[in-house]
Amino acid sequence: MPDSNVKIESLISELLTQIGEDPNREGLLKTPQRVAKSWDFLSKGYKQNIDEIINDAIFYEDYDEMVTIRDIDFFSLCEHHLLPFFGKAHVAYIPNGKVVGLSKIPRIVEMFGRRLQLQERMTQNIAETLNSVLEPKGVAVVLEGQHMCMQMRGVEKQNSFATTSFMTGLFREDARTRKELLDIISMRK
């Protein structure tokens, strides 16, 4: 077991004590181990990098129409409260001679989601990464998220959603391109 997991286990045991629980009661005996393992998974994005994710799956292609992957499930943790936020990511780009393997886009979303995040930053991180890797005519990322820090505590608004977007190139400059993307995102089966 990595040394960091042992430290996390100790911290969780102390946290249980501080909130008034007994970390030695039957139901909590293995909780520190489970939480450490869970945090290892939930924060795996810190151990990933874009080169490993792309894995040479960039292809030269004479295609210059919009490529969109919508409704990508994402899960992340709010950096302010360490509570989950989750939702759908919609990612589009207009190639400029290069395309990326389609499965790489959800993997990029996952990499940034598995870090402590702000939804705004995550949206921008995804867009800037694709822009850097592909040098396309434009990139657009829209995230729709539900935040447990707003639903479980604080204002306690269970039906609230946060929508963030980040657009470059044609998506930012051309209203028709942006509208086409938003129409695609709003299509339902």
> What are the catalytic residues?
78-81, 119, 147, 149
The SS3 of residue 90 is: strand
Report the candidate in 122, 141, 118 with the shortest Cα–Cα distance to residue 131. Answer: 141
Distance CA 165, CA 124 (A): 8
Q: What is the DSSP string of 74-128?
A: EEEEETTT--EEEEEEEEEEE-SSEEE-TTHHHHHHHHHHTSEE-HHHHHHHHHH
